[in-house]
């Protein structure tokens, strides 16, 4: 059976990956020249994809060691260090003999190697006792990296999480290693625009001006449409131009939502027209009824009024304008502005450089059709 070419999670290979050529070239160029990057985009736009796609281009190159870690679930420097150490060491300890060598050099870390019985991948565990021990262990790992010939690319995904660590100062610790380990390029990425911009562009913060920022936006629509049409036709399926236009209208080409619609359309039909797309949207909204109702239960009445207005308006440039406020009867500008801020912090809304929009495209249509 031919695999569905529209992935809705993870990265597989260039065959299933659309465009991002300029972004990937920028990432590779930065790595080649030992510069650091920050990739920022709304949720599900394709940050992780760009990182994994860039790593794919570097595979097999002995001179580069790519390391990827997603710190979303970490809550302290101790947990960060455990995950960081595990990710770096699993990459290094590709084989048992290499592992022995690494653990001899890093004897102070008390490492344990296990082989995942399902995948056969090596995985390293070591436990950190406390914050002091975490700082020491990070020092040991970075010192070890600096003795290697290879250039390390360390991608830390969901980087905004570090501001939630109680202790603070994680940024300063990372900065010192970033500055003192010449054979590392960092790629920081995440979706909380405000938090990340603040970390990297506020002169008072330790990581100020240490990285180049890539704002990842949508894939150019004609490229994406060609990609979709090509995937259909290479499976002897068809999708009409009006269906593609309709997908664009529904999703604004927000990557995950395009992928999701196409995955389902591809799975169900041999030939797709715009009515099929419409029918599928109606079905998706019905399937997600309880999810969306739950979203609303997380919001205050004012936030609900504001998010509904943004959905109905199809995005808003100036939410505090008299025009928007009176069109949707929203009350005082300060209340609206506060609601927009909370909704953005909670990532229900994002700012695409021009407008505030709903992050979840289907939720937006659910509100619209209610
Ligand atoms: N260029 C692309 N071509 C095809 N599919 C893509 C592309 N980029 C990402 N995707 C798919 O879109 C979905 C979202 O991408 P990804 O997980 O990279 O986004 P993200 O910005 O990291 O999201 P999050 O904020 O949730 O971490 C995934 O299912 C991924 O497989
Ligand atoms: Mg991601």
Which protein residue has the closest C-alpha to ligand 1 atom 23?
44
d(CA 26, CA 252): 24
The Å distance, Cα 233 to ligand 1 centre, comes to 23
> Which of 283, 272, 268 has the alpha carbon at shortest distance from 228?
272
| pLDDT value, residue 349 | 96
Tell me the HSE value of 199 on the side-chain side, using a 13 A CA sphere. Answer: 32
218-235 average pLDDT score: 98
3-state secondary structure (DSSP) of residue 62: coil
| pLDDT value, residue 96 | 62
Q: Does ligand 1 lie within 6 Å of residue 190's CB atom?
A: no
307-321 average pLDDT score: 96
Helix (H) and strand (E) counts for the chain?
A: 16, 11
CA 6 to chain centroid = 18
146-152 average pLDDT score: 93
| pLDDT value, residue 231 | 98
| pLDDT value, residue 100 | 72
| pLDDT value, residue 57 | 94
| pLDDT value, residue 117 | 77
pLDDT in tens, 88-145: 888 877 666 666 777 777 777 777 777 777 777 777 777 888 899 899 989 989 999 9
The Å distance, Cα 230 to ligand 2 centre, comes to 26
> Which of 202, 196, 207, 128 has the alpha carbon at shortest distance from 169?
207
Which protein residue has the closest C-alpha to ligand 1 atom 25?
43
Mean pLDDT lowest for which of 103-117, 165-179, 182-196, 198-212?
103-117
In ligand 1, the atom with minimum distance to the C-alpha of 70 is 27
Question: Cβ of 136: how many Cβ atoms within 10 Å?
Answer: 16
Is 90 exceeded by the pLDDT of residue 322? Answer: yes
Q: Does ligand 1 lie within 6 Å of residue 217's CB atom?
A: no
In ligand 1, the atom with minimum distance to the C-alpha of 224 is 3
Sign of the CA dihedral with 202 first, then 204, 209, and 213 last: negative
267-288 average pLDDT score: 97
In ligand 1, the atom with minimum distance to the C-alpha of 157 is 27
**pLDDT band, very low/low/confident/very high, at 161 (cuts 50, 70, 90):** very high
Q: Does ligand 1 lie within 6 Å of residue 113's CB atom?
A: no
| pLDDT value, residue 17 | 98
pLDDT over 70, % of the chain: 98
The Å distance, Cα 190 to ligand 2 centre, comes to 7
In ligand 1, the atom with minimum distance to the C-alpha of 12 is 31
pLDDT in tens, 239-258: 999 999 999 999 999 999 99
> Which of 78, 84, 83, 76 has the alpha carbon at shortest distance from 162?
76
| pLDDT value, residue 370 | 85
Mean pLDDT lowest for which of 88-102, 167-181, 314-328?
88-102
Average pLDDT, the chain: 93
Which protein residue has the closest C-alpha to ligand 1 atom 10?
46
**pLDDT band, very low/low/confident/very high, at 60 (cuts 50, 70, 90):** confident
| pLDDT value, residue 120 | 74
145-153 average pLDDT score: 93
CA 201 to chain centroid = 20
């Amino acid at each position: 059976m031919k695999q569905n070419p529209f992935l809705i999670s993870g990265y597989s290979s260039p065959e299933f990956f659309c465009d991002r050529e300029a972004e990937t070239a920028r990432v590779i160029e930065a790595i080649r020249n030992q510069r650091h990057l920050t990739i920022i985009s709304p949720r599900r736009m394709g940050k992780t994809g760009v990182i994994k796609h860039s790593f794919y281009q570097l595979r097999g190159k002995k001179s580069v060691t790519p390391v990827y870690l997603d710190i979303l679930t970490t809550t302290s420097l101790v947990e960060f260090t455990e995950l960081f150490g595990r990710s770096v060491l699993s990459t290094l300890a590709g084989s048992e003999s290499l592992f022995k060598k690494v653990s001899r050099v890093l004897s102070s870390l008390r490492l344990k190697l296990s082989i995942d019985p399902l995948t056969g991948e090596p995985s390293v565990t070591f436990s950190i006792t406390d914050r002091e021990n975490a700082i020491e262990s990070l020092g040991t790992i970075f010192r070890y990296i600096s003795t290697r010939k290879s250039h390390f690319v360390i991608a830390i995904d969901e980087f905004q999480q570090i501001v939630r660590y109680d202790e603070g100062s994680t940024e300063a610790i990372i900065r010192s290693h970033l500055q003192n380990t010449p054979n590392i390029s960092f790629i920081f990425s995440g979706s909380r625009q405000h938090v990340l911009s603040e970390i990297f562009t506020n002169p008072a913060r330790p990581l100020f001006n240490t990285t180049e920022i890539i704002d990842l936006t949508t894939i150019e629509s004609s490229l994406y449409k060609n990609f979709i049409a090509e995937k259909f036709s290479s499976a002897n399926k068809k999708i009409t131009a009006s269906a593609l236009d309709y997908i664009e209208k529904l999703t604004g080409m927000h990557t995950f939502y395009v992928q999701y619609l196409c995955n389902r359309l591809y799975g169900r039909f041999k030939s797709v027209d715009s009515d099929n797309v419409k029918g599928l949207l109606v079905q998706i909204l019905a399937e997600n009824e309880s999810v969306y109702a739950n979203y609303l239960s997380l919001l205050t009445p004012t936030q609900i009024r504001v998010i509904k207005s943004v959905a109905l308006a199809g995005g808003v440039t100036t939410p505090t304008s008299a025009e928007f406020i009176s069109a949707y009867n929203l009350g005082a500008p300060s209340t609206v502005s506060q609601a927009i801020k909370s909704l953005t912090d909670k990532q229900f809304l994002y700012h695409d450089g021009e407008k505030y929009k709903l992050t979840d495209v289907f939720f937006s249509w659910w509100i619209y059709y209610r």
